[in-house]
Amino acid sequence: MSELPDSQAIDAIISGHYADPFSLLGMHQTAAGLEVRALLPDASDVWVIETHTGRKCVQLNRLDVRGFFCAVVPRRKKPFRYQLAVIWHGEQHLIDDAYRFGPLLQDLDGWLLAEGTHLRPYETLGAHREVIDGITGTRFLLWAPNARRVSVVGEFNYWDGRRHPMRFRAESGVWELFVPGAHNGQLYKFELIDATGQLHLKADPFAFEAQMRPQTASMICGLPEKVTMAAARQAANAFDAPIAIYEVHLGSWRRHTDNNFWLSYKELAEQLIPYVKAMGFTHLELLPINEHPFDGSWGYQPLGMYAPTRRFGTRDEFRHFIACAHDAGLNVLLDWVPGHFPADDFGLAKFDGTELYEHSDPREGYHQDWNTLIYNFGRREVSNYLAGNALYWLERFGIDGLRVDAVASMIYRDYSRAEGEWIPNYYGGRENLEAISFLRYTNHALGQEAPGSITVAEESTDFPGVTRPPESGGLGFWFKWNLGWMHDTLDYMQQDPLWRRHFHHLMTFGMMYNYSENFVLPLSHDEVVHGKRSLLDRMPGDAWQKFANLRAYYAWMWAFPGKKLLFMGNEFAQGKEWNHDISLDWHLLEGEDNWHHGVQRLVRDLNLTYRHYTPMHQLDFDPNGFEWLVVDDAENSVFVFVRRDRAGNEVIVASNFTPVPRYHYRFGINQPGNWREVINSDAAHYHGSNVGNGGVVASQPVASHQRAHSLSLTLPPLATLWLIREAP
């Protein structure tokens, strides 16, 4: 400016309607000389101090009682480093002027953000500790292209939106400001005057830590250090590795008995991790821990995608929890929800007064099932926000993989919608082409930038190629939940054994499509809520039969091709549905040894045996790894199959899903010799009836089932056997 600011400009900057605060505030060359202007509400006196010498250069004049100060620095023509000595309520404070620093967003970062190809947008956007020109502070960057004004507010400026209006970078839609003195641990938000002129306080979409709900402020904490993925962790995620996943909701695995309060990340590291290791699981999967406003969403309606929830402790305490899991030899998977978000005003909804992150048309942007908003995957910056978040958890926390929630709701525009309630894609189809492109890009990026990590799709339809490479028309996931297998087998197990012969196909149908994808067999949290009852309670018969059915089913599941997943509580046959507000029923394991102990021991032994014998996992996704020996004995509800490894070693699995023991049950085998029981779900050790084969059974040169040699076994009631061939 060539002259002192007029009253209209001062009114605009104070009211928050001045478009470019840097053109007004700070140090400027004017016709009158070198001029310094500052907006310092409630200040009484302000002096300009030369930083190098500490000398007072000029006292600023208060042009407006609301706190606008201005003066020409005498005898100075060239800009210099300065500070402001400000008197507030009788006390002097020496501060650095935020408006003497230049632009922050680098050209390349701005280009990549606008293009939607920035691999690590979290390294640019958000709040980051910075030292600029020798001054320590925090740089804040926010994408809000349609806002009229954005200020950063927080504990460093009394939450006063007048004090730190931000610079707008029109080429990228990003607002930026370096705030000297703002430091880690301080709370902040962004105060926006949105596109409609309304004032809103918004949490930072890129906040790395947040307040404990119901408070909603973001916290300056800086990026965590990168975590290198060790070779052992990479190997544990391989297609031929044994993968047994324990799915956990941290808030209800176990609680304090005196006040029903959650365990902290530290307490969970001390209690949960040793338990999962002792139970023989290879992976720990966490229901979403992204910050979320509502406990009852279990984390599946997140708003702080970059912040682990404060319910259980700090961000760094969560990182310590992950490190403890790795030290125990466990890989950690995180449930990740890129499909939708809740409409809380402090979050992403109508972020800058427009539907910035979501679609404007509710036929595309509203999830009627969950009362949430759907991300606009076709907007490059939105997809970049989400794809970057996926890499953030793997790279900065050491998360070993992501289980991606509700993929079907993302890839189909008509998901759970009646005719006329959805908008076809460009070609008139029902596929969400933008979401499909986003998933392919994200999976490809993770494969390139985080080798050894995995993604697992919860996809409930028959969309082809979920776990096939994008160049082959697939989505690029490593694994997919086999929800068809889960529904079919649970439907079978819920039948009275008398009628199971009529539903025999439900147990065999999974092999018809088994090699179409790389499957995980899930018995997840979704199967023990909303009136579905616990797994134990869904088994038919009296108490003994319920436990026997469940044990037989688990031994069947662990032997069937595919990686394994079991939700917490199922490993000891909790009798009631999961309740996220209380602890699991650990009291069932108190007192004398009982049926629940038996199921718990079986799950542990299944995990350890499954991991020990390569035929049980090495060729999960290769037809050479499985062969039916008896597939058509519906009358007796008996199934027998072989699991095989690359070297040709075999494990025989035989199941009898009736309460009638089958004595002298003969079936043909491929490899003659002595076969030893390594798992018998009816063993007394598991509180079964202890019917079995006395350890070892020798084959006989008796033809059966088109094979020259056969075994004659006793098949216990409601039980599954695993047998290995002993070395000759």
Locus of tokens 């003195």: 181
* Distance in angstroms (rounded) separating the CA atoms of residues 173 and 125: 12
* pTM listed for this prediction: 0.94
| 589 close to 254: Cβ distance less than 8 angstroms | no
Which residue numbers are catalytic?
405, 458
Strand ranges for 524-562 from DSSP E: none
C-alpha 98/C-alpha 177 separation (Å) is 7
Q: Bridge-partner residues for 455, per DSSP?
A: 402
Structure tokens at 223: 């990026």
DSSP state of 463: -
SS3 88: strand
Start-end of H helices in 333-482: 362-365, 380-397, 407-411, 433-449
Q: ω into residue 214 within 30 of 0, thus cis? A: yes
Question: Of 588, 600, 496, nearest to 546 (Cα)?
Answer: 496
Q: Which residues of the chain have pLDDT under 50?
A: 1-2
Locate 27 and state its tokens. 């140090």
Positive/negative CA dihedral, 484, 504, 607, 646: negative
Q: Which helix (H) or strand (E) holds 38?
A: strand 33-39
Q: What is residue 3's predicted lDDT score, i.e. its pLDDT?
A: 55
Quick one: pLDDT at residue 498? Answer: 95
Dist. CA 84–CA 63, nearest whole Å: 16
β partners of residue 639: 655
H helix or E strand, kind and range, residue 557:
helix 543-559
Q: How far apart are CA 210 and CA 436, in angstroms?
A: 31
Q: Tell me if the domain spanning 107-219 has CATH number 3.30.1490.100.
A: no
Whether the CB-CB separation of 558 and 616 falls below 8 Å is answered with yes
Tokens representing 96 are 């650095």
Q: Residue 160 burial by CB count (10 A; 0-12/13-18/19+): exposed, middle or buried?
A: middle
Rounded (5°) CA angle 58-59-60: 110
Nearest Cα neighbor of 40 from 6, 12, 68, 10 is 68
Residues of the chain with CATH 2.60.40.10: 7-100, 107-219
Strand 519-523 to 479-481 pairing = parallel
408-412 own/partner pairs: CB under 8 Å, 24+ apart: 408/459, 408/460, 408/461, 408/463, 409/339, 409/340, 409/367, 409/369, 410/338, 410/339, 410/377, 410/435, 410/439, 411/435, 411/436, 411/439, 411/459, 411/463, 411/475, 412/461
Instruction: Give the C-alpha separation, 385 to 382, whole Å.
Output: 5
The 10s digit of each residue's pLDDT in 560-616 is 999 999 999 999 999 999 999 999 999 999 999 999 999 999 999 999 999 999 999
Q: What is the pLDDT of residue 339?
A: 95
pLDDT value of position 15: 85
CA 636 – CA 507 distance, rounded (Å): 14
Instruction: Let me know if 505 is exposed, middle or buried by CB neighbors in 10 A (0-12, 13-18, 19+).
Output: exposed
pLDDT at residue 509 in the model: 96
Looking at residue 4, its pLDDT comes to 63
Question: Looking at domain 615-725, which CATH architecture does it have?
Answer: Sandwich (2.60)
Long-range pairs of 228-231 with CB within 8 A, sequence gap ≥ 24: 229/394, 229/398, 229/400, 229/450, 229/451, 229/452, 229/453, 230/326, 231/452
209, 224 contact by CB (below 8 A): no
For CATH 2.60.40.1180, the residue range(s) in the chain are 615-725
**What would the CATH number be for the domain defined by 7-100?**
2.60.40.10
- For 388-446, how does the pLDDT look when each residue is reduced to its tens digit (9 = 90+)? 999 999 999 999 999 999 999 999 999 999 998 999 999 999 999 999 999 999 999 99
